Amino acid sequence: WPNRSKSKASEESRFLMDGLILAGDVGGTKTQLGLFKHSAGVLELVREHRYATADFGSLEAVCGDFLGASATVNAACLGVPGPVIDGNAHASNVAWKLSSATLSRALKNVPVRLMNDLTATAYGMVHLKPAEFAVLHRAEDPPEHGNIAVVAAGTGLGEAALVWEGDENKYHAVASEGGHSDFAPHGGEQIELLRFLTGEFGHVSYERVLSGPGLWNIYRFLRRESRAEEPGWLRDEIAKGDHAAAVSEAAIAGRDPVCVHALTMFCDIYGSEAANLALKVLALGGVYLGGGIAPKILPMLTNGAFVKGFLAKGRLNEILKRIEVRVSLNPAAGLLGAAHYAAAML
């Protein structure tokens, strides 16, 4: 591992007596790492850095670059994509071999925990301040405590739950791969969308519609159905590479009706799937939306389509009315959750 500058080493050495924690949020595109000081039950961020995942050959290499030779951590916790089984992550969009045992050896045999990235995000949600949320649906007569559902659309679709343990006065996060469950359309148009995607993918999960690539799938379907020619300016924006961003930006600006239609359908389905998870875990403590997409499309999420999809469960609507839905505005929720979990390991 390369040495860091002497000034950086001096700056960090004063924290060693209190203990240092390495936290991370690993993704297919970027990996965010943070170094935290833990003292008297309080976490303080020392520094953080975001890396391009593809620039490194392993998790150990990127952690080594971040820590250098000067910092010795006392515990580490990293959120990683995909299920984590027996300390090994099975990630579909990261080429690295992700193993808690291997990383522990690289960090001089300190305690290391790898957890699903949505589990880390879920833990982070309970540590965010009220100002770090936007409320999409205000609950009617909510209970003081209850289970929490966490849904995060980004490159993929992540889902997790926080189970309220009243006897211990804390939350316990439960990982899932619910984003890969079958997409359940409602209404004729969504049924046609399912047929369109089945022809391309065979199995159609919620991730095929509720993600960046999913928004692009919806747009392609609606462009075909509308038979409207794609505007040249939009074609140019799409050609830049981020198809979903081009569609969502055009929709929010109201520049193209097909884009508006696509993002409205996306929000409707997002609300429906958020309600599905809320009912499965009886999330009377609320539904939190994480991931990179929700804050970027907030104007569309608040225009009614999301809540319409959320409150479309027939006889169970009265329960859903008691569930508050919030959007996390802090992109570092996963990093914060991993840091707090690592602190609890000490």
Q: Give the three-state DSSP class for 251.
A: helix
Q: Angle at Cα 94 formed by Cα 89 and Cα 96, nearest 5°?
A: 70
Residue 214 vs residue 27, higher pLDDT: 214
Find the length of the chain: 346
Domains of the chain in start order, with CATH, are 6-123+333-345 (3.30.420.40), 129-329 (3.40.367.20)
Does residue 14 have a pLDDT over 90? no
Q: Which of the four pLDDT bands, split at 50, 70 and 90, describes residue 70?
A: low
Q: Give the model confidence (pLDDT) of 296-312 as tens digits.
A: 999 999 999 999 999 99
pTM of the model: 0.89
The pLDDT value recorded for residue 322 is 95
Q: What is the mean pLDDT of residues 119-132?
A: 95
Closest residue by Cα to residue 271 from 315, 319, 333, 320? 320
Q: Which helix (H) or strand (E) holds 239?
A: helix 232-239
Show the tokens assigned to 257.
Answer: 């009706």
- The dihedral through the CA atoms of 112, 116, 117, 119 has a sign that is negative
Whole-angstrom distance, CA of residue 213 vs CA of residue 130 = 31
User: What does the pLDDT average to over 198-212?
Assistant: 97
- Please report how the helices 243-253 and 212-226 are oriented relative to each other, as an axis angle in degrees rounded to 10: 60
Contact predicate 128/333, CB 8 Å? yes
Segment 231-258 shows an average pLDDT of 97
Per-residue confidence at 48, pLDDT binned at 50, 70, 90? very high
Terminal CA-CA length for the chain: 25
Amino acid at 314: G
- pLDDT at residue 10, rounded to an integer: 46
pLDDT at 4 over 60: no
| 18: amino acid identity, one letter | D
Q: Return the minimum-mean-pLDDT range out of 20-29, 60-69, 163-172, 231-240.
A: 163-172
Is the model's pLDDT at 17 over the cut of 80? no
How much is the pLDDT for 90? 86
Instruction: Check: CB of residue 307 under 8 Å from CB of residue 49.
Output: no
Tell me how crowded residue 90 is: count the other CB atoms within 10 A of its CB: 12
| pLDDT of 66 over the 70 cut | yes
- Least confident piece of the model among 141-145, 234-238, 260-264: 141-145
Quick one: pLDDT band at residue 144, thresholds 50, 70, 90? Answer: confident
> Using CA atoms, how far apart are residues 129 and 121, in angstroms rounded to an integer?
14
Segment 57-68 mean pLDDT: 95
pLDDT bin (cut points 50, 70, 90) of residue 123 is: very high
pLDDT value of residue 29? 83
- Give CA–CA dist 180/56, Å, rounded: 28
> What value does the CA radius of gyration of the chain take, rounded to a whole number of Å?
21
Res 173 pLDDT > 80: yes
Determine how many CB atoms are found less than 10 A away from the CB of residue 268.
Answer: 22
Could you read off the pLDDT of 210-227 as tens digits, one per residue? 999 999 999 999 999 999
